[in-house]
A and B are shown apart, each in its own frame.
Chain A
Amino acid sequence: MTMQIVHSGPVTSSDETVRAREALARDNLRTEPKAVRIAIITIAIAFLTIFVVLPLVVVFAHAFSKGIAAYFAALAEPEALAAIRLTLLVAAISVGLNLVFGLVAAWAIAKFDFPGKTFLITLIDLPFSVSPVISGLVFVLLFGAQGYFGGWLRDHDIQILFAVPGIALATTFVTFPFVARALIPLMQEQGTQEEEAAISLGASGLQTFFRVTLPNIKWGVLYGVLLCNARAMGEFGAVSVVSGHIRGETNTMPLLVEILYNEYQFVAAFAIASLLAMLALITLIAKTVLERHLDEGQDASDH
Chain B
Amino acid sequence: MRDKTQVTIEVKDLVKTFGSFKALDGVDLKVDSGELVALLGPSGSGKTTLLRIVAGLDWPDAGEVLINGEDALAQGARERHVGFVFQHYALFRHMSVFENVAFGLRVQPRAIRKDEAAIRARVKELLDLVQLDWLSDRYPSQLSGGQRQRIALARALAIEPRILLLDEPFGALDAKVRKELRRWLRSLHHEINVTSIFVTHDQEEALEVANRVVVMDKGRIEQVGSPDDVYESPASAFVHGFIGESIELPVQVEGGVVRLGDRPLALAAGGAAPGASKLFVRRHDMLVGPPGSGAFEGAVQHVRNFGPVQRAEIVLSGGKTIEIDAPRDKELRVGETVGLEPRRYRIFAG
Contacts and interface: CB of A to CB of B under 8 A. Distances in A.
A194 B84 CA distance: 11
Contact of A204 (B55, B78, B83, B155): B78
Interface string B67-98: 00000000011101111101011111110000
A113 to B, nearest CB: 10
A196 B84 contact: yes
Contacts of B90: 193-194, 196-197
Interface stretch (A46-54, A98-106, A211-219, A272-280): A211-219
Nearest to A196: B57
Contacts of B103: 198, 201, 203, 211
B108 A215 contact: no
Interface residues of A, number: 22
A197 B93 contact: no
A88 B86 CA distance: 46
Given A216-B94, A300-B139, A303-B89, A199 B78 contact: yes
B92 A300 contact: no
B88 A199 contact: no
Contacts of A212: 92
B93 A300 contact: yes
Contact of B86 (A197, A211, A216, A297): A197
B107 interface: yes
B92 A194 contact: yes
B342 interface: no
Nearest to A208: B107
A211 B91 CA distance: 13
A299 interface: yes
Contacts of A122: none
B57 A200 contact: yes
Interface string B153-168: 0011011000000000
Interface residues of B, number: 33
A202 interface: yes
A194 B99 CA distance: 14
Given A211-B107, A212-B92, A300-B93, A201 B159 contact: yes
Given A193-B88, A300-B93, A200 B139 contact: no
Interface in A200-241: 200-204, 207, 211-212, 215-216
A207 B107 contact: yes
B104 interface: yes
A164 B84 CA distance: 51
Nearest to B139: A300
Contact of B94 (A197, A215, A303): A215
B57 A201 contact: no
Contacts of B57: 196, 199-200
B107 A200 contact: no
B295 interface: no
Contacts of A202: 78, 81, 104, 107-108, 159
Nearest to B80: A200
A118 interface: no
A194 B172 contact: no
Question: Which among A200, A301, A302 has the highest number of chain B CB atoms within 10 Å?
Answer: A200
Contact of A300 (B80, B141, B156): B141
B56 interface: yes
Given A194-B92, A201-B159, A202-B108, A303 B145 contact: yes
Contacts of A199: 57, 76-78
Interface in A258-303: 297, 299-303
Interface in A76-109: none
Contacts of A197: 84, 86, 90-92, 152, 155
Contacts of B82: 200
Question: Which among B86, B103, B145 has the highest number of chain A CB atoms within 10 Å?
Answer: B103
B34 interface: no
Contacts of A193: 86, 88, 90
Contact of B93 (A198, A204, A216): A216
A216 to B, nearest CB: 6
B227 interface: no
B46 interface: no
Contact of B78 (A200, A215, A303): A200
Contacts of B104: 201-203
Nearest to A194: B90
B289 to A, nearest CB: 50
B298 interface: no
Contacts of A299: 141
Contacts of B92: 194, 197-198, 211-212, 215
Nearest to B94: A215
Contacts of A297: 93
A301 B156 CA distance: 20
B219 interface: no
A301 B86 contact: no
Nearest to A200: B84
Given A199-B78, A200-B55, A200-B78, A303 B88 contact: yes
B140 interface: yes
A198 B107 CA distance: 9
B88 A200 contact: no
Nearest to A299: B141
A207 B104 CA distance: 11
A295 to B, nearest CB: 13
A288 to B, nearest CB: 22
* Interchain residue pairs A-B with the least CB separation, the first 8: A201-B104, A300-B141, A193-B90, A203-B107, A197-B90, A200-B84, A215-B94, A207-B107
Given A202-B107, A203-B103, 10 more contacts: A196-B57, A196-B84, A197-B155, A200-B80, A200-B83, A201-B155, A203-B78, A300-B93, A300-B139, A303-B145
Interface of A: 193-194, 196-204, 207, 211-212, 215-216, 297, 299-303
7 contacts: A193-B88, A196-B86, A197-B84, A197-B90, A198-B92, A199-B76, A201-B159
